Amino acid sequence: MLKVTIDEQTLEVEAGSTVLQAARRLGIDIPTFCYLKRLPPLASCRMCLVEIEGLRRLQPSCATAVTDGMVVRTNTTLIDETRSSMLDMLLANHPLDCPICDKGGECELQDMVMAYGPRRSEFRDPKRVFHSRDIRLSPVIIMNVNRCIQCQRCVRMCEEVVGAVALGTVEKGMDTAVTGFEGSLASCDQCGNCVEVCPVGALMSFPYRYKARPWDLAETDTVCPHCGTGCQLTVGARKGEFMRVRSKQEHGVNRETLCVRGRFGLDFIESRDRIKRPMIRRDGALVPVSWDEAGDYLRRRLSAVENKAAGGLASARLPNEVLYQFQKLMRTVFRTSNIDCSSRWSAPFDTLGPLMAAFHSRAPLDDVIGNDCVLVVGGNVTEENPVTEYLLRDAARRRQAGLLMLSARPSRLDADARVVVRVPPGGEAASIASVVAGLVAAAGQALPGDALATIASTIGRPTAETGGEGPGRLATALKEGRSATVLVSVDLLRSPEARATLQQLNNLLQILRLLGKGTAMQFLFDRANQMGAWDMGVLPAALPGLQAVTDDAARATLARNWGAEIPSEPGADLDAMLELCIDGRMGALYIAGTDPLIAYPDRDFVTRALGATDLLIVQDTFLTDTAGLADVVLPAAGYGEESGTVTNNEGRTQKVRKFREPAFEARGNLAIFDFVAALRNRALQPSTQDEIFDEIARLVPAYRGLTQDGLGAHGTFTTAVPTPPTGEFFALPPAPTATDALMLITGNGLFHNGYLSERSDILNTVANDPYVAMSAPDAARLCLSDGDQVVVRSAGGKLTAQLKIDRQFPKGLVFVPENYRALRLNSLMRRGEYPCPVEVQGVHRTLEVDRTSRIWRGV
Amino acid sequence: MFEPILLKNVDVQDGHLLSTYEAGGGYQALAKVLRGYTPDEVIDLVKQSNLRGRGGAGFPTGMKWSFVPKRVDKPKYLCCNADEGEPGTFKDRIIMERDPHQLIEGLAVSAYAIGAEIAYVYIRGEYVTAIRRLEQAIAEASAKGYLGARILGSDFNFAVHIHCGAGAYICGEETAMLESLEGKRAQPRLKPPFPAVAGLYASPTVINNVETLVCVPHIVVRGADWFRGIGPDRSPGPKLYCLSGQVRKPGLYELPMGIPLRELVEEHAGGPPPGRKIKAVIPGGVSAPVIPERGLDVGMDFDSLAAAGSMLGSAGVIVIDDATCMVKVATRIIEFFHHESCGKCTPCREGLNWVVKVLRRIEAGEGAPGDLEQLEKLCKGIFGNTFCALGDGAAMGLRAALAHFRDEFVAHIEERRCPFH
Amino acid sequence: MTMREKIEEAAARYPDQRSAIMPALLIAQRQHGHLPGPVLEEVADILGVERIWVYELATFYTLFHTEPVGMFHLQLCDNVSCMLRRSEDLLRHLEHVLGIRKGETTPDRLFTLSTVECLGACEMAPVMQVGDDYHGDLDIARIDALLDRLRTEAGRPTGADHAAAASPGE
Ligand SMILES: Cc1cc2nc3c(=O)[nH]c(=O)nc-3n(C[C@H](O)[C@H](O)[C@H](O)COP(=O)(O)O)c2cc1C
Ligand code: SF4
Ligand code: FES
């Protein structure tokens, strides 16, 4: 510890602390512009200069490390004069157009001048006008170069945090300007983090332009609805109308960052696609009716199917309270365990449960990625969970974490990784098995004898052929590290291989644990409340708290509290429910807030299934394709119209807050459940959000003791008591025979991750057009070049889009982003088959179908 | 007469060829250190010689070298600062054009001392002839085994690469040069870490001026005492002086350190043009504060000039005669710094812009009362507060001009015109 | 050697491709005369570096031109040493005989006239750089002779008959 005296106050700080950090800890205010907590100091604005005893010159406190016994002064006349002088110089050419500047009222320069500036300036010469018009760098980012004070926060944010390297600085001296390549940011991430960190009105949000003044806005702190990272954000609304999103420096996992979806993709709440009134099917068409009429209709229809099966599907974006109440409704009123929370894939709970129980960590991402090794398995974290990716980049660059990437899809983060293993589509399980084999081979003796015997008898000799040398290097890195974190993309759960992949992950984590390494595991969900949905028991085999449905004690506790019987058998997941529908056995299917017709991988199958359902109830904010097939449509409150809590990938429970009342005749989701329960002459108790939260905090083990008031600005972590690993190891199922066939996989793109993003006008504007990506050798073999229009054809259907050649792609991989509604990607897929074999051709040539290449099937 | 050492070959026919250089005893210093000296002994020798950097700051070269950590698992680099952008300076160009092997030998000996196997010579892009000559010399030296693997049968491997600048004065600042070498906009870096510890590609790096490096082989051959015997003990050695401006014989002069400025200007360079008197001299490139005629008796070495309120800098001696308007000179100098400001820090970027506007106004006869106080206030805001020495240099120069020639500024403001027109 | 080969050769001197952006831009500018966007993109592609990095350097350094310049770029030094030796008079003369202001290019695209900061040749002030060559100890007569030589080199009418020969279409 080092002793430092600042303005006569003394403090002990750790070695490496800067004077600025020390001063802030003492509550001494030192003004800064270029300093940003998460970036290395630049020391260019010279606002933070301080006097240090023994040094002739003033020193930038942001970049000066404390030395033992250092004596610092920040409150002398010289410092006052210097600060004032810096501001005077900055203002000399700064346009004083505050009245029409979007930053007016929340401008750091304005504030700083008030606090430290000269009362008047001597400067009388004409100001420089650099660019007389603002420059539209992208659809969402607009730049006023004259106002820029060259703090370089934006450029550093773009390069060092986001990793996009889209913004840069051109020219030099007084001509210096921040801009994109050739003056455009048209192809950047559009995350707007540059806008967020701009202290003045230089980089501005175009959608928010001239819309409001900060003091007109009612601001509400809430959580992003888009992905499972769970970024905190602040919605600014005026009279209930959505205006903008900002992020706050010190809040949440994300602090001041967001991605494009969070920052610009919330305008979906104003989508024209809104369901205004309840609707019922009459003579084949959906007609708007009153809630009472809808109730009467629904009561009749429900009693007609009382003796048939029922099922429920709810969105993993809905708040915990809604999800909890949904499964309670299904279990106690509809008396079924046919419950699921994803319209694309269902988690195999028999494998997932033990894995979660033994290894899943409810802990800050910042902590778990501080481990020596961070293995990211599957997916593309850059596009699926951008803000998580920012933190991973920081861990790799600044905290020396060894990033290990294993995925079919390349990502930007690969550039910062220590090892990148590119697996063939669908080859994740086999690659992880190779890593496991490598670890066992390398560390054999270090493993306890009995474990080694078990491993040998189950895993046997590894089949490393899919892996090449990558898995070997990955195993070596894991072996050398003291601790490892595994981050699992949901991408892996969508395939029929999910069980095998989870089993191999279980093997890997168990072995790491046996080798004495600290381990942690989290999922990288692409739905904002996927974690909460699991926790709330929106699963056919698990009750709230991820307790097995077959667990009598757990069931008894819940039944007692709910005052109702709970079915004791695991139910059908979505896939099985759809089969029940097809077989004509599904009486009522209740879908809340999700659109399987777009998302379920087999459009034809789901269309037939929904058509064959006796009664399809859709409760939603927007008129989805699925709602179009419903018998009853119930308009529900949307994001921002209902408060509640969500639990992010880290297991952090945070508050989503409403900032307006449900629009039109929509009702809160909870109220609608009450409404439906009442039609069956039942009442769900309790029924308000607050009371339900309290019940969750009482009955769901990981949530025990949480209070809403305790959630604060950062949320609170749920806690689960880990159970020891099972000690069971899993053999790899026989590897699929590799063929030359092209395999289609899909996943989220940066701009779209589904249901909500596709209703955002802004995201639709900035998103690149849907595309087909494949490797250079595959493209060459097919005589295709970048930018060609291509047809992708499968046994199920076809689509046409532009080809994007990706040099990092493995051979055989074809990627088309999902969630482009018009593309109807899921019509190419067939149930249970993923990756999906396809053929790709240039638009003009005729297709010769080679049916033999389509035999590759997952096992 | 002082016998030229550094400039021995510059006026010789084919002085740039290896054969000429070898004939004059070239590469013997390299042979001598590779045979008989450990790297540390070379560093000690240079320390004993009291050689101080010729790039401007006058930092002791041997000491700088000794900051390089001995054992690191990274490569070490030597960078030669041949960016020579300081107005009034042309000494490095002449050496590289006319005696490039002298530099190559200096590089090789210095690299051996610090344990570097690669040197980058950062030459300003305008110096096309120097670049070609140096390329040619590198090829010749490589062919003869003075560069490459196992030089002269020793264990020492060494390669020299040329990196061309592209027109930015700031690249002469050593950390900006490193940024530029790494392919970035040339903006100075924070120190610490100092380049000797983490410089180019975060590896230990020594940056030395051309003239500094060129002194090294001579020290090896003739000894530290010989070097220390020339000029003042704390600031010794032969020195290149660049004479330009209003003198009869502009040109490059090699004379001992510490020679009186008056002698340099009036005797060696022939004094002012006929019928004129010297008004002032800038002794070390435009970063060095101007010295009025009455101050010319100062010795041309780091310490004496510093004591006189100026600096030796690059020894670019610019002579200004009595028919010249000092406001115009000062304006032109500040315009230069303003143009060359890299734009990183507020006081340099914004402050100089303001200064330029006021100065141009005064020069054009549109000055107003209070302008000079404003300039002084700006100098105060800039000096000592900029990120690198560029801004300091500008503010110091302007302060000196305002101090010594205030009457000329006042005349411009009061008469609302330039009295020299 | 193709531009790509030259750039790759230059890049081999550095442990990091980014370092080769400056040499690559010099090579590309020699090839193309100036550095328009597509050339910058090509350089970025060859080196596999970010496009914005290339753009940053192409605009930071004064020797790089993102806009076209004339066949002969007349770069007259106007820093102090040259100023003291009346480079201003030469500038005025050049502007007069070429019929352009500094920073402009003659309509026949033969000459671009610029002033530059110190060229590091103050011993022969006033100095002007044209292409790779320095021309020192200049006065008006020498400037005129130089312009004539350059025009001849380009196969254009020389100064004496220039006015007469200048066609309206030029
Ligand atoms: C703005 C600025 C410009 C400089 N320009 C040069 C230059 O052109 N040549 C040079 O050798 N040193 C220049 N220097 C000094 C270098 O930063 C550095 O001190 C020098 O190269 C070290 O070499 P030396 O120790 O051999 O003198 C400059 C410094 C500053 C602050
Ligand atoms: S990373 Fe996820 S949670 Fe964060 S802003 Fe983006 S979409 Fe929202
Ligand atoms: S000032 Fe013109 S060449 Fe030096």
Residue of higher predicted confidence among A54 and C167: A54
What's the pLDDT score for residue A697? Answer: 97
CB atoms within 10 A of CB A67: 13
For the segment B335-348, the average pLDDT, to the nearest whole number, is 98
Share of chain A above pLDDT 90, in %: 82
And the tokens for B411? Answer: 């005349």
Inform me whether the pLDDT recorded for A467 exceeds 60. Answer: no
Residue of A602, A596, A347, A341 lying closest to A488 (CA atoms): A347
CA distance B409 to B403: 10
Residue reference for tokens 């600085």: A169
For this complex, say whether ipTM is above 0.85. yes
Q: Which of A734-738, B1-5, B78-82, B402-406 has the lowest mean pLDDT?
A: A734-738
Claim to verify: residue B192 and residue B340 sit in the same structural domain: no
Q: What is the 3-state secondary structure (H, E, C) of B10-67?
A: CCCCCCCCHHHHHHCCCCHHHHHHHHHCCHHHHHHHHHHHCCECCCCCCCEHHHHHHC
Angle in degrees, 0-180, between the axes of helices C51-60 and C37-47, rounded to the nearest 10: 120
User: Hunting for tokens 């501080």 — which residue is that?
Assistant: A370
Q: What is the pLDDT of residues A658-717, one digit of tens each?
A: 999 999 999 999 999 999 999 999 999 899 999 999 999 999 999 999 999 989 888 999
Cβ contacts of C83 on chain B, cutoff 8 Å:
328-329, 332
Q: For residue A644, what pLDDT is reported?
A: 97
The protein residue whose alpha carbon is closest to atom 5 in ligand 2 is A262
Residue A821 CA to chain centroid, in angstroms? 20
**Domain contains B10:** no
pLDDT digits (tens, 9 = 90+) for A501-546: 999 999 999 999 999 999 999 999 999 999 999 999 999 999 999 9
Compute the average pLDDT of residues B140-161: 97
Domain count, chain B: 3
User: Does residue B339 belong to the interface with chain A, where contact is any CB pair within 8 Å?
Assistant: yes
Residue where a domain stops, chosen among B294, B321, B348: B321
Point out the domain boundary residue: B198, B228, B258: B228
Among residues B208, B228, B248, which one ends one of the domains? B228
The Cα B305–Cα B282 span in angstroms is: 11
pLDDT attached to residue A853: 37
Q: Which of A101, A304, A127, A268 is nearest to A200 (CA)?
A: A101
- CA gyration radius, chain A: 28
Average pLDDT over residues B128-142: 98
Tell me: the pLDDT tens digits for A795-847? 999 999 999 999 999 999 999 998 888 889 999 999 988 899 999 999 865 44
**CB of A284 within 8 A of CB of A563?**
no
Spatial CA neighbour of A723 closest among A359, A370, A197: A359
Residue to substitute in C79, C86, C137, C138 for testing ligand 3 pocket (most ligand atoms within 8 angstroms of CB):
C79
B7 forms bridges with which residues in the sheet?
Answer: none
Taking a C-beta distance cutoff of 8 angstroms, is the pair B137, B101 a contact?
A: yes
Closest CA relative to residue A493, chosen from A353, A631, A352, A615: A352
Q: How many CB atoms lie within 10 A of CB A468?
A: 14
pTM: 0.94
Pairing of strands B77-82, B118-123: parallel
Terminal alpha carbon distance of chain A: 59
Which residue in B88, B183, B324 is closest to C118 by CB distance? B88
Q: What is the pLDDT of residue B372?
A: 97
Band of the pLDDT at A44, cuts 50, 70, 90? very high
Q: Output A491 or B288, whichever has higher pLDDT.
A: B288
In a domain, B376, yes or no: yes
- Residue A93: is its pLDDT beyond 90? yes
- Mutation target among C52, C61, C65 for the A interface, most CBs of A within 10 A: C52
| pLDDT tens string A319-348 | 999 999 999 999 999 999 999 998 777 788
Tell me: do B206 and B61 sit in the same domain: yes
Cα separation of A151 and A146, whole Å?
Answer: 13
Is residue C74 within 6 Å of ligand 3 at its C-beta? Answer: no
Q: Is residue A857 over pLDDT 70?
A: no
User: What atom of ligand 1 comes closest to residue B58's alpha carbon?
Assistant: 27
Separation CA A796–CA A794 (nearest Å): 5
C-contacting chains (≥3 CB pairs under 8 Å): A, B
Residue A749 exposed, middle or buried by CB count within 10 Å (0-12, 13-18, 19+): buried
More reliable by pLDDT, A650 or A250: A650
3-state SS, one letter per residue, for A809-822: CCCCEEEEECCCHH
Output the residue whose Cα is nearest ligand 3's atom 2. C82
In this prediction, residues A735-753 reach a mean pLDDT of 85
Among the partner residues C20, C119, C133, nearest to B183 by beta-carbon distance: C20
Distance from CA of A27 to the nearest CA of B (A): 25
Asked if residue B86 lies in contact with residue B314, where contact means CB atoms within 8 angstroms, the answer is yes
Share of chain B above pLDDT 70, in %: 100
Q: Is residue B421 part of a domain?
A: no
Do B263 and B213 share a structural domain? no
Distance CA A229, CA C57 (A): 37
pLDDT number for residue C168: 41
Residue B309, domain member (yes or no): yes
- How far apart CA A128 and CA A749 sit, in angstroms, is 42
The pLDDT mean for chain B works out to: 97
The domains of chain C are located at 3-58, 72-166
- The CATH number that applies at residue B206 is 3.40.50.11540
- Residue positions counted in chain B: 421
Within 8 A by CB and 6+ apart from B319, the residues are B243, B244, B245, B246, B247, B265, B269, B272, B278, B281, C84
Expressed as residue numbers, the domain containing B107 is 18-228
d(CA B46, CA B38): 13
Using most ligand atoms within 8 A of CB, pick from A254, A526, A529, A531 the residue to mutate for ligand 2: A254
- Rg for chain B (alpha carbons), in Å? 22
In this structure, are B264 and B246 located in the same domain?
yes
pLDDT tens-place string over residues A607-642: 999 999 999 999 999 999 999 999 999 999 999 999
Average pLDDT over residues B149-176: 97
**CATH code that applies to domain C72-166:** 3.40.30.10
Same domain, B54 and B171: yes
Segment (H or E) for B98: helix B91-98
Q: Are residues B182 and B70 in the same domain?
A: yes
Beta strand pairing call for A798-805 and B159-164: unpaired
Q: Which of B6, B52, B68, B86 maximizes ligand 1 atoms within 8 Å of its Cβ, making it the mutation to test the pocket?
A: B86
* Phi, psi of B209, rounded to the nearest 5 degrees: -70, 155
SS3 assignment, position A558: helix
Cα(A580)–Cα(A571) distance, integer angstroms: 11
**Percent composition of chain A: helix, strand, coil (DSSP 3-state, to 5):** 35, 20, 45
Rg for chain C, CA atoms, rounded: 18
- Asked if the structure places residue B9 within a domain, the reply is no
| Contact present, C57 and C47 (Cβ < 8 Å) | no
Look up residue B357 and give its two tokens. 């506007």
Q: Tens digit of pLDDT for each residue in A191-236?
A: 999 999 999 999 999 999 999 999 999 999 999 999 999 999 999 9
Claim to verify: residue B141 and residue B39 sit in the same structural domain: yes
Identify from A174, A181, A412 which residue to disrupt to test chain C contact, counting C C-beta atoms within 10 A and taking the largest count. A181
Residue of A32, A46, A48, A113 for testing the chain B interface, max B β-carbons within 10 Å: A46
* Same-domain check for residues B243 and B365: no
Other beta carbons within 10 angstroms of residue A477's beta carbon come to 20
Same domain, B273 and B372: no
Q: A585-611 pLDDT, tens per residue?
A: 999 999 999 999 999 999 999 999 999
Query: In the predicted model, what is the mean pLDDT of residues A393-416?
Result: 95
CA distance A667 to A687: 14
Which CATH number goes with the domain that contains B351? 1.20.1440.230
pLDDT in tens, chain C (170 residues): 899 999 999 999 999 999 999 999 999 999 999 999 999 999 999 999 999 999 999 999 999 999 999 999 999 999 999 999 999 999 999 999 999 999 999 999 999 999 999 999 999 999 999 999 999 999 999 999 999 999 999 988 765 554 444 444 33
Across A136-147, b (16+ Cβ under 10 Å) vs e yields: ebbbbbbbbbbb
Is the per-residue pLDDT at A463 higher than 60?
no
> What is the distance in A from the centroid of ligand 2 to the CA of A230?
6
Q: Are A253 and A230 in contact (CB under 8 A)?
A: yes
DSSP per-residue codes, A80-134? HHHHHHHHHHHHHSS---GGG-TTTTS-HHHHHHHHHS-SS----SPPP---SS-
Kindly state the tokens that stand for A422. 């590119």
User: CATH no. for residue B258?
Assistant: 3.10.20.600
